[in-house]
Amino acid sequence: MKRKSLRTILTTAVLTVAVLGGSTLTYAEELPVEGETEVTAEQEAAETNEVQTPEAAELENTYVEAETETAPAETTETQEPTASDVIESPEVQEIPEADMADEADAVILQESETTAESEDEEELVGASGAVIDSAGIYVASQDGTGVTAGMVTDVTGSGSLEYRWLAYDIKAETWSTLSDWTLNNEWYHFNPGKYGDYLLQCEVRPVGNEGGAKSDCIGVNHHPNIKGKCQMPYSGEGGGFLIGVESYDNPNNEYSYEMLILDCTLLAQGKDAWIYTTGQCRVDGNAFWTVWQPEYGYYWTLFRVYDRDGNMIDEDCYGFKNVCRISAAGLVDGCGNPIDPEVQRHMEEVGSFEWW
């Protein structure tokens, strides 16, 4: 009766613990073995004594019940998360192996697409198939507003080109960027804003390919007011040369014109070389003329234009030589070639002179 009673108590404890949690169930299932062993030892002791007092039996039952009731509390202290707790927690939620495989494939596919996009960007930006064999600047037009120039390239393969335009002010000795690298910007209109001498440079390269760049540079003499200059033999009294300067306009006839001549022989000798000047003169119209009788030699002619306040707004010069003579038999040009008097008269009437 005692053994049966102890097993009944232990079975009740197992059922109670099973209701409380799965992990406790494992511990409770071990209790019958331990309880049975302890009870058997007590029983053997009782059998050895043959006679068990009521106080001893009551003490035995109290010990077993106390140990059985204490077991769940001890189990709680070492209790691990239950299966239900794991499922409810998103941080440690288990993912089926099939879903994990699909997710891994998705990550690999995304990385492949990202790599492909990066490779496509490199191909568009830096992997141009164009090779520039040669490049040169072509001047389409030049007037008082500036110069319009284009970069002509000889290209092998296909691919977009980008251009950069720069200018160098010879007097100021400074470079400036007119237009930074721009796609298909092969034409540019350069207007310095003031008269002077400049260098216009263009650089061209396949898009993103610095090592494949080519460049060209030209000189630009920018004269926003001087349209042209003239030099020709003069057939009037005293002979000599007819020289002139023409501006694009002369608003209200307020411009002043001046011409000066430099003797290169005197300059080489270290002497005062400015031998001729008209001074500043106002005229009706936009052309100014003078006659000069040079001696044998080499010269520079300087032309200047001033605004109404006397500010010089443009100047230009060119060199000429007087190494030919005007023969007694007729007029000749600066190189000794005869000029027909009728042609000379017609040129003077219509103002059809050769301009530089």
Beta strand segments in 144-184, E: 146-156, 161-169, 174-183
Residue count of the chain, please give it.
Answer: 356
CA distance 310 to 177: 32
pLDDT the model gives residue 33: 42
Residue pLDDT, tens place only, 125-158: 445 689 999 999 999 999 999 999 999 999 999 8
> Is residue 229 within a helix (H) or strand (E), and if so which, with residue range?
strand 226-233
For residue 122, pLDDT over 60 is answered with: no
Q: Which CATH number is 131-222 given?
A: 2.60.40.10
Tell me if domain 131-222 and domain 226-350 are identical in fold.
yes
- The SS3 of residue 99 is helix
Residue pLDDT, tens place only, 194-206: 999 999 999 999 9
Q: Percentage of the chain with pLDDT > 70? A: 54
Residue pLDDT, tens place only, 235-245: 888 888 889 99
Extents of the domains making up the chain:
2-85, 131-222, 226-350
pLDDT the model gives residue 32: 45
Q: Which residues contact 142 (CB under 8 A, 6 or more apart)?
A: 148, 220
Count the neighbouring beta carbons within 10 Å of the beta carbon of residue 246.
22
CA distance 139 to 189: 10
What is the Cα Rg of the chain in Å?
55
Task: Give the HSE-up count for residue 133: Cα atoms under 13 Å, Cβ half-sphere.
Answer: 5
Q: Which CATH number is 226-350 given?
A: 2.60.40.10
For residue 191, pLDDT over 50 is answered with: yes
Crossing angle between the packed helical segments 2-20 and 54-77, to the nearest 10 degrees: 20
- pLDDT confidence bin for 35, thresholds 50/70/90: very low
Q: Which residues contact 355 (CB under 8 A, 6 or more apart)?
A: 227, 228, 229, 230, 246
Q: Name which of 148, 139, 143, 146 is nearest 247 in CA terms.
A: 143
Specify the amino acid at residue 302: L
Q: Which of 40-49, 134-143, 342-351 has the highest mean pLDDT?
A: 134-143
For residue 42, pLDDT over 60 is answered with: no
- The SS3 of residue 356 is coil
Q: Which two tokens stand for residue 281?
A: 């003169």
CA distance 238 to 242: 11
CA distance 23 to 80: 7
- DSSP-based helix, strand, coil % in the chain, nearest 5: 35, 35, 30
